[in-house]
Amino acid sequence: MIKVENLSRKFNSTIVLENINFLIEKGELAVIYGRNGAGKTTLIKCLAGFIKVNNGAINLVPNDKKKIGLYLGHEVLIDKLTVKEYIFLAGKLKALTNNVIESKITEFSQTLDFAIHLNKLISEISFGTKSKILLAISILNDPQILIMDEPFIGLDLITIQEVVKILSNLKEKGCTLFISSNQVDILENFTDKILILKNQTIVLEKKIKDLDITSINQLSDLVLTYLE
């Protein structure tokens, strides 16, 4: 579960987020939409604990970092490590055993198609491959809460399909997912709730089943109407 109440955040005198309220129940997948610069990444970082809020409260259940996955997509990686070494380090920081880490590396390097890069230095791989590495790390611990900021940027269509399968499987296991995106069509088949961030606050929070729409085109039109 993710519950946010009256959250506000400003940088100096600039208000970035104001009076943010929403609730994502256990096992729900929620997608938040907003224009570039709307504050989606700041909100994600607040949820992750990277940025302190000025007002309000964030309640994550379970509130245990070992059970939470996080994907930011723009993290600075350690160039001098190989891909395998980097994932292994991330696994140890999540308190996973060596056997579990090895198993996950084998699984995700095949599923996300980066097995041929495992022994390359981080400095030698492409932006898209780095995105795959960060995606693998975010789900390494079979999280009960997964928070993601624009997870599909830089990925090819085949990888996007695999990531969607992974997210769907996590959701079926009861994982709560909160994802920022500007790509309406990718997650439409199993999104439970949408949120729209505009003018520093949430202007729409609705379950998909409560929206008067029957197609992805209608959902896109709805999102665009609120963002204009």
Tens digit of each residue's pLDDT (9 = 90 or more) over 95-129 = 999 999 999 999 999 999 999 999 999 999 999 99
- For 59-84, letters b (16+ CB in 10 Å) and e give ebeeeebebbbbbbbeeebeeeebbb
* Strands 29-33 vs 55-60: parallel, antiparallel or unpaired: unpaired
Overall fold of domain 1-62+144-228 = Rossmann fold (3.40.50)
Contact 226, 204 (CB under 8 A): yes
Predicted confidence at residue 146, as pLDDT, reads 98
**CA distances in angstroms from 98 to 68, 88, 115, 148, listed in the order given:** 19, 8, 18, 26
Predicted confidence at residue 16, as pLDDT, reads 95
pLDDT at 71 over 90: yes
Predicted confidence at residue 161, as pLDDT, reads 94
Question: CA–CA separation, 71 vs 151, rounded Å?
Answer: 7
pLDDT digits (tens, 9 = 90+) for 179-210: 998 888 888 788 999 999 999 999 999 998 88
Q: What is the mean pLDDT of residues 125-140?
A: 95
Type of residue found at 112: L
pTM recorded for the entire structure: 0.93
For the chain, give every domain's residue range: 1-62+144-228, 76-143
Predicted confidence at residue 184, as pLDDT, reads 83
Percentage with pLDDT > 70 across the chain: 100
